Structure 1
């Protein structure tokens, strides 16, 4: 099966469901995975070539038209713009590593504020406000959580290459304090997407009194649960070479992990999806709506930003390799991060065919917190990883009931 561009522009992800246990031989798993990916890639290329040949034979397309279409296609492939935030908001504060954006839009509603921690994997944080009508921030507001904020991760520079986990926890705390003071509430609803999810979990474990509810979407909490190409690759490399490959990439980036390297890794995982996406563009050169979807996604996906090198290497050592958050051995600022300190209502969202963070990695959070079982909500959305945050299916049908439930925990009862 080939990947497709869904209505939001995110690649469809029709992979098989992942196993709940990692392979005992990650190298063998990777060989099989990449062999399958290569076959998928060749199949996608063959279908693309077949479409061009069929068009030439059955539609009486002249060489001039073919040349003109090739130029149009190539222009769309190469032309990238900086991704944009779309709905009304204001920037509350800005630091060298993050901005806080307020989407409250003038609301004075007496409701617990909601703070989103977006993914941080070499892409712009505006994924949470992807399009005017396809926006996680607007879904949150429409659920009644009108005091809505999000952090916006700033791409790393040479000056910020030494940023640490402590620096990120500090900026999250500053954002939480702003939300609490502005709204006049003692706590916030934390929403963590992907990497923002484990960061939100660490913060909630360290400051449980400041977190009213915790929502995790596509978030790798148990990095060793299930089997994924990213997880298997990290296990193979760290077992054989330690952190040397990661340090080499950071060194090549002048002290930071280049966003372009991260992008290349994502494309290598699903080369067939990348090829199919461009073949679909060729098929839809005369469809303005399809081209707009393609361009919106590519603008976000291909515009990369670097990740601080010190932070990235910490992540690889302590979470990807060490899985210390789940093991209970993680320390931040000299304190052990104990997930059992989390007892607030917990909302978990996974993608059924997510090959980056399978649902088992997200749902594992429920087994390590103190939240009562009747206050844990697990929800599995059809589709893959990016669709959880920008896809129409997730934004229309998966997020609204979760955020409505969060809103029920966010109104005053006294």
Structure 2
């Protein structure tokens, strides 16, 4: 369905229906949690002091955030003011006969560490385990006053510099915003991309029922780019990461409510508290986005939808998706409300890749689960990356390897956007 994002009226109707549903789900979650807490109070009575101590522990745990870190060993191979190229290749694998792989993480007000979320929930570990051992990733650095004017050309240039440093040709893997960036690069430099993998990446920004697309359509239809420019001015020339976080929470408030109340219910469960900490440390640790880059994105992609229409021109060159002829792998989330599958799968009809070399796959779950969820990493990323490996080596079948992802069965999930 494209109706919600193809007109101002359709966008407003979609937003109204979506917000009503979100409000209902949030109320239901509050009701469920209240019933659980009442039952707990009846079946396990505590002294007022004990209840106060639990409440204080809950509150301090919500506020106690740590900066995300990389779990896999790496070295910095290239430094720019707005990005690092990190080399995750194990020295023992440096001589492997395999095409290098470059991962472009999302960039939506959070750190790039989502691709290495935890030691047993790591997209990078899955890629290496599949045989793609010559492994690199770009880490997007927090924007500063000095980098507020960094634009799309700078981002494409750092990708090009990275691939040249890696040998001149690479498998390109792009998650969410990293996906449309990878697609634009591949359209402009098809000779440097061996295979292209896009996960949860908006290519047709107006396809499907997306609350972000609807809100952008409604906002720009009424006020143009003025609200976005105002946010950037408030951020000193950058898009504040905290504003992006607030937007994500506002899209699915029931997830935020559920996560915090589940913490209260399980504050004595060390395993639950640790899972909560790991997610919150990444989700709530925000970073700013260069203002020039953000405003370009809103104008030309979210509003203009120029990538899928074929009208996107960068430095005098048209970014024509038909120029992409390499094998294409597409991974969408079945319940992804940020990037509905239709926004990603539109790439299949726009590229020049032969249909038999295009793989579409739909993982069970939502947006963030595509990049760090145990089910998607085990069941979807692994076979996709094994297929990429088969196209990237003459060494024959990949060697046996230890499973890179913890078994997801019988482990409670944390609600996430």
Q: Structure 1 residue 234 and structure 2 residue 216: aligned? A: yes
| Match for residue 316 of structure 1 among 262, 286, 298 | 298
| Match for residue 63 of structure 2 among 58, 75, 78 | 78
What residue ranges of structure 1 are gaps of 5+ in the alignment?
1-18, 181-185
Query: Where does residue 58 of structure 1 map in the other structure?
Result: 43
Q: Structure 1 residue 41 and structure 2 residue 26: aligned? A: yes
Q: CA deviation at 1:52?
A: 2.3
Q: TM-score, normalised by structure 2?
A: 0.92
1:271-282 mapped onto 2 (5 Å cutoff):
271-282=253-264
Query: Where does residue 254 of structure 1 map in the other structure?
Result: 236
Cα distance in structure 2, aligned partners of 1:245 and 1:335: 29
Query: Where does residue 7 of structure 1 map in the other structure?
Result: none
Query: Where does residue 88 of structure 1 map in the other structure?
Result: 73
2:147 is paired with a residue whose SS is coil
| Match for residue 142 of structure 2 among 141, 155, 163 | 155
Q: Structure 1 residue 105 and structure 2 residue 87: aligned? A: no
What residue ranges of structure 2 are gaps of 5+ in the alignment?
397-417
Query: Where does residue 288 of structure 1 map in the other structure?
Result: 270
Cα distance in structure 2, aligned partners of 1:398 and 1:237: 36
| Match for residue 369 of structure 1 among 334, 351, 359 | 351
Q: Structure 1 residue 301 and structure 2 residue 283: aligned? A: yes
Q: TM-score, normalised by structure 1?
A: 0.93
Cα distance in structure 2, aligned partners of 1:95 and 1:122: 19
1:22 is paired with a residue whose SS is helix
Query: Where does residue 409 of structure 1 map in the other structure?
Result: 391
Q: CA deviation at 1:22?
A: 3.3
Q: CA deviation at 1:267?
A: 0.1
Q: Structure 1 residue 114 and structure 2 residue 101: aligned? A: yes
Query: Where does residue 212 of structure 1 map in the other structure?
Result: 194
Question: Does the aligned pair in 2 maintain the 1:169–1:203 contact within 8 Å?
Answer: yes
2:49 is paired with a residue whose SS is helix
1:340-369: per-residue Cα shift (whole Å, max 9, x none)?
Answer: 000000000000000000111111101001
CA RMSD after TM alignment: 1.3
Higher relative contact order (CA 8 A, sep 6+): 1
| Cα separation, partners in 2 of 1:413 and 1:47, compared to 1, 3 Å | closer
1:106-125: per-residue Cα shift (whole Å, max 9, x none)?
Answer: 11202100000000000000
Question: Does the aligned pair in 1 maintain the 2:4–2:13 contact within 8 Å?
Answer: no
Aligned residue-pair number: 391
1:173-192 mapped onto 2 (5 Å cutoff):
173-180=160-167, 186-192=168-174
